């Protein structure tokens, strides 16, 4: 029998957090949407309703089209790269080799540092300068006789975002490795042995037994990395600053709002980002909580 006093008290304990989340997340989202439907441009708030004008103008805005294209390139390279690399590393580390903790610690350490630090260092590693001023990876390739690998990195026209994604893979692939490693460790050894007795090759075991069991892990990785791609911001700022060729929605939002004072458009970009994240994340939260309830 639960006492009423305890009931009220427990609700009282979470009330500050519920209010904070209610105001600072949902209230602020509502406020942002309201700004996105207004013509506010300038220092003083102007909530004159303009309907979806800010959204519509974004979709005929060449800069926003560049942003979408860049986000797609980044997402594709970053998500596929991190998942593949993370999976391969996890499988290698799951073979019971000596020194596994050392390698695991090493592959995961970039997760502990900020995108800003990563960006500042990679900015110099991916320095596109040529000839006498060559440095970074290009210099390393050149010294090793791998001149065909020398390239313009993030300053490559059209595909510069792929180079930014490379730095992001360096930072985040340890995370997918950790996810897969935890998944692999939870697979009972008997399962593999049984398959082996049935004559399955190592490759077949991974293809037909392990990968299907790990599909929830792959789904998590896909969604977490996918939503990180949509939000990418600091890394680009630290590598390249604000450049049109490497623009993404998060940077456009920041610039148009705080440098250009076009609050209406900034809020519209923010809301579109939120919608794109919500489409990924809401089903994921529902799926996870439903699975948990069934346990």
Stretch 157-176 residues interacting with other proteins (CB under 8 A): 170, 174-175
Checking 41-46 for CB contacts under 8 A at 24+ apart, the result is 41/261, 41/262, 41/263, 41/264, 41/265, 42/261, 43/261, 45/263
**Site pattern 253..292 for other proteins (x: CB under 8 A):** xx--xx----x--xx-xxx-xx--xx--xx-xxx-xx---
Q: If residue 137 lies in a helix (H) or strand (E), which one and from where to where?
A: helix 136-143
CA distance 87 to 204: 16
Nearer residue to other proteins within complex by CB, 158 or 282: 282
Among 108, 187, 200, 213, binds other proteins (CB under 8 A): 108
Is 51 within 8 Å of 142 (Cβ atoms)?
no
* Dihedral pair phi/psi, residue 38, rounded to 5°: -115, 170
- Supply 150's token pair: 């020398």
Q: Which residues contact 174 (CB under 8 A, 6 or more apart)?
A: 86, 89, 107, 108, 109, 110, 111
Say whether residue 133 binds other proteins (CB under 8 A). Answer: yes
Nearer residue to other proteins within complex by CB, 143 or 158: 143
Nearer residue to other proteins within complex by CB, 160 or 265: 265
| Interacting residues with other proteins between 58 and 87 (CB under 8 A) | none
Among 74, 78, 87, 107, binds other proteins (CB under 8 A): 107
Say whether residue 20 binds other proteins (CB under 8 A). Answer: yes
Say whether residue 26 binds other proteins (CB under 8 A). Answer: yes
Nearer residue to other proteins within complex by CB, 160 or 271: 271
| Interacting residues with other proteins between 226 and 255 (CB under 8 A) | 227, 230-231, 233-234, 237-238, 241, 249-250, 253-254
CB of 157 to other proteins, least distance (A): 23
Q: Which residues contact 47 (CB under 8 A, 6 or more apart)?
A: 34, 35, 38, 40
């Amino acid at each position: 029998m639960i006492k009423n006093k305890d009931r009220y008290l427990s609700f009282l304990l979470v009330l500050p957090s519920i209010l904070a989340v209610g105001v600072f997340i949902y209230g602020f989202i509502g406020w942002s949407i309201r700004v996105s439907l207004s013509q506010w441009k300038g220092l003083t708030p102007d909530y004159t309703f303009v309907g979806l004008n800010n959204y519509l103008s974004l979709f005929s805005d060449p800069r926003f089209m560049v942003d979408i294209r860049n986000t797609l390139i980044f997402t594709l390279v970053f998500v596929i790269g991190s998942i593949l690399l993370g999976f391969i590393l996890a499988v290698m580390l799951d073979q019971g080799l000596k020194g596994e903790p050392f390698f695991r610690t090493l592959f995961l350490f970039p997760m502990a540092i900020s995108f800003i630090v990563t960006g500042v260092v990679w900015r110099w590693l991916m320095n596109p300068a040529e000839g006498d001023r060559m440095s970074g990876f290009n210099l390393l390739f050149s010294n090793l006789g791998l001149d065909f690998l020398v390239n313009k990195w993030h300053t490559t026209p059209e595909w510069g975002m792929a180079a930014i994604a490379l730095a992001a893979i360096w930072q985040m692939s340890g995370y997918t490795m950790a996810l897969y490693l935890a998944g692999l460790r939870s697979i009972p050894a008997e399962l593999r042995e049984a398959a082996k007795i049935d004559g399955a090759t190592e490759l077949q075991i991974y293809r037909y037994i392990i990968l299907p069991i790990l599909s929830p892990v792959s789904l998590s990785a896909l969604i977490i990395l996918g939503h990180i791609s949509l939000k990418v911001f600091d890394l680009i700022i630290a590598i390249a600053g604000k450049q049109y060729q490497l623009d993404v929605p998060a940077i456009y939002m920041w610039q148009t709002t705080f440098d250009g004072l076009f609050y209406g458009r900034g809020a519209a970009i923010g809301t579109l980002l939120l919608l794109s994240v919500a489409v990924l994340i809401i089903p994921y939260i529902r799926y996870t909580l439903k699975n948990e309830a069934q346990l």
